[in-house]
C-alpha cells in the first residue's frame, strides 16, 4: 500500500513546476533547451529531500558543449518550485517513510523518483509549443543511481538517441557484446576498466585474467584492477601473490593493493607490513578500508575490531589512524555485538568508530533498545570527540532519541566548546521531533 496519494502528489508537483518555469522563462530572453530535476537525496528510513530544479538556455550554453547536460554548472541550478501544498505533502511523505523498514523504504523511494519522471513528461508536453523553447526541449530526471535507465524513461527511444548519443553508443555496444565471447568483451573493457566496471563485475571470475594482466602491464589502470579484484572478492592465489608483491614496494599508490588485500581477508600479511617503515602507511590505509569503506558492508564482511586492536598497539600506527578520524561504516544486525564491544574499547579510535556505526538508520526500531542506551553512555566518554559523535548519532534516531534529551542537554555545559555547541544545536533538533 502506498504511503502517500501519489496522484495528488504529482499534481501538486506539476503545478508548482509549471508556475516556476513560466515565471523563469517569462523573465528571460533566451531560448530554453532543457529543464532537469537533479540532486536527489534520500536516507534509508529517514530523510527524503525534494530534488533541485535546473534550467538552461541555448544562449547561456554557447560553445560550452561539455556542460550541455551538467546541470550543476548551469546558471539556474535550484529554481524554487515547491508550493505550500507540495511542502505539506512532502512533510507527510517524510513522516510516513521514516516508519518503513529497509525494503519497503527502498520501494517507496523508487515510487518517489518515478513520480518525478511522470511530472517531467507532463511538463515537457505542456511547454512543447512554447515560443521560448527549442524543438528538442525536454524535462529530465538525473539521478546518480540508474542514471541511464531513468533518463530513458523520460523520452522516446528516438529522442534519447538524438539527445544522449554517448549513452546510446554505450547501450549499443553492450547490446552488441551481449552474445559475444568473453575474450571479445574483455578486449573492449580493457580500454577503460573503470568505465566498464559494472560489466566487469558481472563477468565475475571470467574477468580475472584481464585484471591480472592490467596489474602487471598497465601502469595507468593498475589501481582500477586492484580495486576491482577487492570489490569482486577474487581471492585467487595468483591475484593475492601479485597484490602482495606490489604492496611490498611501499609505493604510495599501492594503497589500492592493500585495500584489495584487506577485502580479500589477507589480514596477517597486512599486519606484518605495518611493522616495516616503508610499507606501514599503505598497510594502515588498507586496514582502515575494512572500517571506513561500505564495500565491506556490501561484501557482507563482518565487523571485527581485533585487527584494529592489533594495529593500534603500535604507537606510530595509532597516530596514523588517529589522523584519519574514524567515520564508521554500515553494519548488519549480526555486527551489533561487536560494535557494542567496541564502545568499551580502551582505544579512542575504536570507540569513535563504534559510535559512528550506530548512527546507521537501517538498524532503527527493532534494535533501538540495545543501541540507544549504549550510545547515551558515550555522552560521558573521556574523549571529547566521542561525546560529540554520540550526540550526533543519537540525533539520527529521531523521536526515538527523545528520552535521552536531558542527557544531551547536560552536554551543553561540556568542558569542550565543540561538544557544547553540538549539544546545543542537536538538542533543539531532537526537541522538534
Neighbours of 127 (CB within 10 A): 18
Q: Are residues 348 and 293 part of one domain? A: no
Choosing from 300, 335, 356, the residue where a domain stops is 300
Number of domains the chain is built from? 3
pLDDT band for 158, please (50, 70, 90 cuts). Answer: very high
Shared-domain flag, residues 13 and 141? yes
Question: Mean pLDDT score of the chain, rounded to an integer?
Answer: 90
Assess whether 287 and 332 both reside in one domain. no
Domain co-membership, 131 together with 216? no
- Cβ proximity of 246 and 214 under 8 Å: no
Compute CA 340 distance to the chain's CA centroid, rounded to the nearest angstrom: 25
Query: What long-range pairs does 27-31 form, CB within 8 A, spacing at least 24?
Result: 28/57, 28/132, 29/59, 30/57, 30/58, 30/59, 30/60, 30/132, 31/57, 31/58, 31/59, 31/132, 31/133, 31/134
Confidence of residue 36 (pLDDT cuts 50, 70, 90): very high
Examine the pLDDT at 1 and tell me if it is beyond 70. Answer: no
The pLDDT of residue 325 is above 70: no
pLDDT of 272 > 90? The answer is yes
| DSSP helix/strand/coil, 5 | coil
- Name the more confident of 284 and 63: 284
Does any domain span residue 310?
no
Q: How far is CA 406 from CA 33, 294, 345, in A?
A: 54, 33, 26
Where a domain ends, among 148, 172, 196? 172
pLDDT at 45: 64
Average pLDDT over residues 1-28: 90
Residues 372 and 391 in one domain: yes
Residue 180: pLDDT above 90?
no
Same-domain status, 118 and 200 = no
In the numeric block, the cell 538538542 is attached to: 427
pLDDT at residue 2 in the model: 59
Q: Are residues 105 and 126 in the same domain?
A: yes
211 in any annotated domain: yes
Please check whether residues 137 and 193 belong to one and the same domain.
Answer: no
How much is the average pLDDT of 144-171? 91
Q: Which domain holds residue 350?
A: 325-433
Calpha distance 341→21 (Å, rounded): 54
| Last residue within a domain, chosen from 128, 143, 172 | 172
Q: What would you report as the CA-atom Rg of the chain, rounded to the nearest whole angstrom?
A: 25
Task: Give the residue from 277, 201, 255 showing the smallest Cα distance to 233.
Answer: 201
Quick: pLDDT tens for 353-408.
Answer: 999 999 876 666 678 889 999 999 999 999 999 999 999 999 888 888 899 999 99
* pLDDT (0 to 100) of residue 355: 95
Same domain, 20 and 150: yes
pLDDT at res. 429:
83
Write the DSSP string, 195-246. TTHHHHHHHGGGGHHHHHHHHHH-TTTHHHHHHHHHHHT---HHHHHHHHHH
Statement to judge: residues 201 and 280 lie in one domain: yes
Summarize the confidence of residues 26-52 as an average pLDDT: 89
Amino acid at each position: 500500500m502506498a504511503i502517500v496519494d501519489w496522484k495528488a502528489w504529482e499534481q501538486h508537483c506539476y503545478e508548482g513546476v509549471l508556475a516556476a518555469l513560466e515565471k523563469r522563462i517569462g523573465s528571460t530572453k533566451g531560448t530554453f533547451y532543457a529543464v532537469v530535476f537533479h540532486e536527489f537525496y534520500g536516507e534509508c528510513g529517514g530523510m527524503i529531500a525534494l530534488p533541485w530544479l535546473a534550467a538552461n538556455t541555448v544562449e547561456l550554453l554557447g560553445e560550452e558543449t561539455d556542460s550541455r547536460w551538467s546541470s550543476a554548472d548551469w546558471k539556474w541550478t535550484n529554481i524554487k518550485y515547491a508550493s505550500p501544498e507540495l511542502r505539506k505533502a512532502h512533510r507527510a511523505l517524510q513522516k510516513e517513510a521514516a516508519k518503513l523498514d529497509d525494503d519497503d523504504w527502498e520501494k517507496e523511494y523508487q515510487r518517489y523518483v518515478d513520480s518525478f519522471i511522470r511530472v517531467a513528461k507532463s511538463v515537457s508536453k505542456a511547454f512543447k509549443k512554447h515560443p521560448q523553447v527549442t524543438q528538442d526541449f525536454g524535462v529530465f530526471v538525473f539521478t546518480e543511481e540508474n542514471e541511464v535507465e531513468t533518463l530513458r524513461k523520460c523520452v522516446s527511444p528516438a529522442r534519447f538517441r538524438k539527445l544522449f548519443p554517448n549513452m546510446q553508443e554505450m547501450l549499443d555496444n553492450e547490446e552488441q557484446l551481449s552474445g559475444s565471447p568473453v575474450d571479445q568483451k574483455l578486449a573492449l573493457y580493457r580500454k577503460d576498466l573503470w568505465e566498464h566496471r559494472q560489466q566487469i563485475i558481472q563477468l565475475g571470475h571470467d574477468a580475472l585474467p584481464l585484471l591480472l594482466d592490467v596489474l602487471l602491464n598497465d601502469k595507468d589502470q593498475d589501481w582500477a584492477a586492484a580495486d576491482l579484484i577487492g570489490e569482486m572478492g577474487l581471492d585467487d592465489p595468483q591475484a593475492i601473490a601479485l597484490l602482495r608483491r606490489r604492496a611490498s614496494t611501499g609505493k604510495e599508490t599501492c594503497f589500492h593493493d592493500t585495500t584489495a588485500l584487506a577485502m580479500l581477508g589477507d589480514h596477517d600479511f597486512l599486519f606484518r607490513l605495518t611493522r616495516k617503515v616503508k610499507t606501514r602507511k599503505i598497510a594502515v590505509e588498507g586496514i582502515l578500508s575494512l572500517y571506513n569503506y561500505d564495500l565491506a558492508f556490501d561484501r557482507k564482511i563482518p565487523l571485527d575490531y581485533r585487527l584494529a586492536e592489533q594495529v593500534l598497539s603500535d604507537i606510530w600506527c595509532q597516530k596514523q589512524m588517529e589522523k584519519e578520524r574514524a567515520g564508521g561504516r554500515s553494519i548488519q544486525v549480526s555486527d551489533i555485538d561487536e560494535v557494542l564491544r567496541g564502545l568499551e574499547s580502551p582505544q579512542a579510535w575504536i570507540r569513535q568508530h563504534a559510535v559512528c556505526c550506530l548512527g546507521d538508520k537501517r538498524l532503527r526500531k527493532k534494535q533501538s533498545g540495545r543501541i540507544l542506551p549504549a550510545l547515551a553512555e558515550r555522552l560521558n566518554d573521556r574523549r571529547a570527540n566521542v561525546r560529540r559523535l554520540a550526540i550526533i548519532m543519537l540525533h539520527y534516531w529521531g523521536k526515538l532519541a527523545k528520552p535521552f534529551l536531558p542527557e544531551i542537554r547536560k552536554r551543553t555545559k561540556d568542558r569542550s566548546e565543540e561538544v557544547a555547541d553540538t549539544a546545543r544545536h542537536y538538542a533543539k533538533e531532537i526537541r522538534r521531533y
